[in-house]
Structure 1
Amino acid sequence: MSVALFTLGGTIAMAGAVGSGAGTVVARLDGASLTAAVPGLTDLGVPLDVQDVQAVPSGNLTFTQVLDVVAAASRAVAEGALGVVVTQGTDTLEETAYLVDLVWPHPEPFVLTGAMRNPTLAGPDGPANLLASARVAVAESARGLGALVVFGDEIHAARRVRKTHSTSTATFRSPDTGPLGHVIEGTVRILGTPPRHEPLPIPEPAALTATGVALYTVTLDDDGALLVDLPADRRGLVVAAFGVGHVPASLAPVLGALAERIPVVLTSRTGAGSVLRHTYGAIGSETDLQRRGLINAGLLDPYKARVLLRLLLASGADRAAVVAGFAAHG
């Protein structure tokens, strides 16, 4: 028995600068060095099986790379791992965690974490986050919860967590639900259990490459010119609309025309709360846009909606399956 630890790089693994001046390269701590800096790991009761994955800034991660880690994690679980921990950069952590959550088929916890302060700074948060994540990975109470994000001794569901601040160590929040639990004096306390869904199939890499999904954020006095020129090879579109799912009236027919060609998913740009379904009726309202064929994403934020839509389309889902997917996951 062990905890499978996969290290992808990011702030948590920055060890110091190589060279000087602007654009210096930051050296990476390997997994052995990373774990050696964490007091308390030896008290976990099980060893960590460390696997250093190719160091990739999280902004450069691809769906395929993340799903490759999922496949390796599945093999580790099949070989007896009690749980999985992945360390990576925080820039895309909310998206990679949700991608993992959609496909993770095992009861064993899959925990993602990172750091906001690198080890060269005063008060780095990486060691504490890694220790808390390892504790969650072996906790019986965390089984069956899917992918989790552990930061600052808080345990968040991948489906709800957001990065809400560019520099704060308290950046990860779940605005709609709050954390699922906490790590308190080394003990994992789960306070709520989210619903789980059947895992989605993992598409072939070639299908993912061929499935481009655009994300468009609506803004004040938006003329929609970028929507008119949406590349023909985009297989789907996520719209981050105002408030509860509204756009300027002039954009409504443009979005309706696109929805006749590709799945167009309606989300809110606000960062919390749901898109409504039948409260407002003006042109450009949520009711009007759904009548024009847009798909309601419910509580999913734009970034997670894009992950779900791309995964569904790359797996061969038709429009009915996409609608059903968002009804289940939104």
Structure 2
Amino acid sequence: MAHVVLIATGGTIASSSGPDRAAVARRTAGEILGSIGPCDVEVQGRDLLNVGSYLLGHRELRVIAEAVAEEVARDDVTGVVVTHGTDTMEETAFLVDLLHDSDKPVVLTGAQKAADHPDSDGPQNLREAIVVAASPEARGCGALICFAGRIFAPRRTRKHHTIAPEPFRTGDGGPIGRVGASSVRLTARPVRTARLDRPDHRFDETRVDVVTLHPGADAVLARAAVHAGARAVVLAGTGAGNGNHAVLEWVSEAVRTGKVVGLSTRVAEGPVVPMYGNGGGADLTRAGALNLGGLPLYHARLLLALLLSQGVSVTQQTLTPYI
């Protein structure tokens, strides 16, 4: 029989309402597992955190990644499921995937409706995630997100809807497979990149900020981020990754003083394409901003934080395999 470890970190799947009707993560791994009924897979629960994912910082993401690595290293474990809030599941899944060096599946799932909701989606999502984690079909795929019967690779997957039962979408693509009550069907396999080293405590305090551009934006927020200790700033440019003259001046200044500037886009899908001058993306990249390609904005922020925390010299060449 396949043996899956469930690492519980909180989120809506573990939440129930208090007297004020506000949902708070409070249910344990055992309680979550108790909601799914009989299972053909041996599942062992592990309580790691019990918070909404909107409360997570770099330290907590590192702790989750370390726990995954510990369980995957066990000879008796077939795969791992991580229950997690949907707010920042995309970041944790992407980080785990960057670090995962085993063929064993790691599957993140959660819920959009709290555990005490009469129509909670948590139990079905968890049952399906366990099926994926136990399946030979999912071996070698790295970390995955399993939600509402769909299986996603993390690299370009984001939460695209706040409350819909199918909240995840992969930019410029779609799910790589589907899962039913007892079967997994993959229609594509993710392209895996070279594994990165697991972070240490330096990652916890590595600050990388995002500054979104808009009509009338200047460089005040970017300068404030650097003043507050940001090792890097990711610009969420307009369109295909554009700025303006004030931002261009700041990029030149920041790069000259050794700061890392990443150029992303505030647009939901599509890559950065530096094709405009007069303060546009072509000028920003010529000034030293690093093109973050089609990597989603907050994935890119996390990647920069991971590399910088490990003393990696972040260049366009360094980033290319991951974007």
**Structures share fold, TM-score greater than 0.5:** yes
The reply to whether residue 93 of structure 1 matches residue 89 of structure 2 is yes
1:233-244 superposed matches below 5 A: 233-244=229-240
The reply to whether residue 30 of structure 1 matches residue 28 of structure 2 is yes
- 1:219 deviates by 1.1
TM-score (normalised: structure 2): 0.94
Q: Which residue of 1 aligns with 2:216?
A: 221
- In structure 1, how many angstroms separate the alpha carbons of the residues matched to 2:273 and 2:24? 45
Q: Which residue of 1 aligns with 2:320?
A: 327
Q: Which residue of 1 aligns with 2:44?
A: 49
3-state SS of 2:91 partner:
helix
3-state SS of 1:200 partner:
coil
Structure 1 segments, 4+ long, off by >4 Å, are: none
- In structure 1, how many angstroms separate the alpha carbons of the residues matched to 2:83 and 2:204? 25
One-letter identity of the residue aligned with 2:10? G
- 1:288 deviates by 1.2
- 1:15 deviates by 3.3
- In structure 2, how many angstroms separate the alpha carbons of the residues matched to 1:25 and 1:141? 36
Aligned residues between the structures = 319
Q: Which residue of 2 aligns with 1:258?
A: 254
Call closer, same or farther: CA 1:27–1:172 in 2, change over 3 Å.
Answer: closer
- 1:27 deviates by 6.1
Is the 2:262–2:291 contact (alpha carbons within 8 Å) kept by the matching residues of 1?
A: yes
- 1:81 deviates by 0.8
Residue range with higher mean Cα deviation, 132-141 or 282-291: 282-291
Q: Which residue of 2 aligns with 1:198?
A: 194
3-state SS of 1:115 partner:
coil
- In structure 2, how many angstroms separate the alpha carbons of the residues matched to 1:325 and 1:135? 36
Q: Which of residues 59, 67, 76 in structure 2 aligns to 1:72?
A: 67
Call closer, same or farther: CA 1:138–1:21 in 2, change over 3 Å.
Answer: closer
- In structure 1, how many angstroms separate the alpha carbons of the residues matched to 2:293 and 2:174? 18
One-letter identity of the residue aligned with 1:182? R
Is the 2:128–2:180 contact (alpha carbons within 8 Å) kept by the matching residues of 1?
A: no
- In structure 1, how many angstroms separate the alpha carbons of the residues matched to 2:16 and 2:101? 34
Is the 2:265–2:272 contact (alpha carbons within 8 Å) kept by the matching residues of 1?
A: yes
Is the 1:202–1:315 contact (alpha carbons within 8 Å) kept by the matching residues of 2?
A: no
The reply to whether residue 269 of structure 1 matches residue 266 of structure 2 is yes
Is the 2:239–2:267 contact (alpha carbons within 8 Å) kept by the matching residues of 1?
A: yes
Q: Flag structure 1 segments of 5+ consecutive residues without an equivalent.
A: none
Q: Which residue of 1 aligns with 2:15?
A: 14
- 1:317 deviates by 0.7
One-letter identity of the residue aligned with 2:185? R
- In structure 1, how many angstroms separate the alpha carbons of the residues matched to 2:105 and 2:287? 41
1:274-285 superposed matches below 5 A: 274-277=271-274, 280-285=275-280
One-letter identity of the residue aligned with 2:27? L
- In structure 2, how many angstroms separate the alpha carbons of the residues matched to 1:318 and 1:7? 35
Is the 1:10–1:90 contact (alpha carbons within 8 Å) kept by the matching residues of 2?
A: yes
3-state SS of 1:112 partner:
strand
Is the 2:58–2:205 contact (alpha carbons within 8 Å) kept by the matching residues of 1?
A: no
- In structure 1, how many angstroms separate the alpha carbons of the residues matched to 2:314 and 2:23? 45
- In structure 2, how many angstroms separate the alpha carbons of the residues matched to 1:204 and 1:250? 36
- In structure 1, how many angstroms separate the alpha carbons of the residues matched to 2:276 and 2:173? 29
Q: Which residue of 1 aligns with 2:118?
A: 122
- 1:209 deviates by 3.4
Call closer, same or farther: CA 1:7–1:198 in 2, change over 3 Å.
Answer: same
Q: Which of residues 53, 75, 81 in structure 1 aligns to 2:77?
A: 81
1:96-143 Cα distance to aligned partner (Å, 9 max, x none): 111111111111111111100112223211011101100110111111
- In structure 1, how many angstroms separate the alpha carbons of the residues matched to 2:25 and 2:67? 25
Residue range with higher mean Cα deviation, 54-63 or 295-304: 54-63
Q: Which residue of 1 aligns with 2:245?
A: 249
Q: Flag structure 2 segments of 5+ consecutive residues without an equivalent.
A: none
Q: Which residue of 1 aligns with 2:132?
A: 136
- In structure 1, how many angstroms separate the alpha carbons of the residues matched to 2:175 and 2:118? 27
Residue range with higher mean Cα deviation, 116-125 or 81-90: 116-125
1:297-320 Cα distance to aligned partner (Å, 9 max, x none): 111111000000000000111133
Call closer, same or farther: CA 1:183–1:210 in 2, change over 3 Å.
Answer: closer
- In structure 2, how many angstroms separate the alpha carbons of the residues matched to 1:281 and 1:14? 47
- In structure 2, how many angstroms separate the alpha carbons of the residues matched to 1:31 and 1:129? 14
1:138-164 Cα distance to aligned partner (Å, 9 max, x none): 111111111111110000011111101
Is the 1:255–1:264 contact (alpha carbons within 8 Å) kept by the matching residues of 2?
A: yes
Call closer, same or farther: CA 1:26–1:301 in 2, change over 3 Å.
Answer: closer
- 1:25 deviates by 6.9
Q: How much is the aligned-residue C-alpha RMSD, in angstroms?
A: 1.7
One-letter identity of the residue aligned with 2:119? G
- 1:227 deviates by 2.1
Call closer, same or farther: CA 1:229–1:67 in 2, change over 3 Å.
Answer: closer
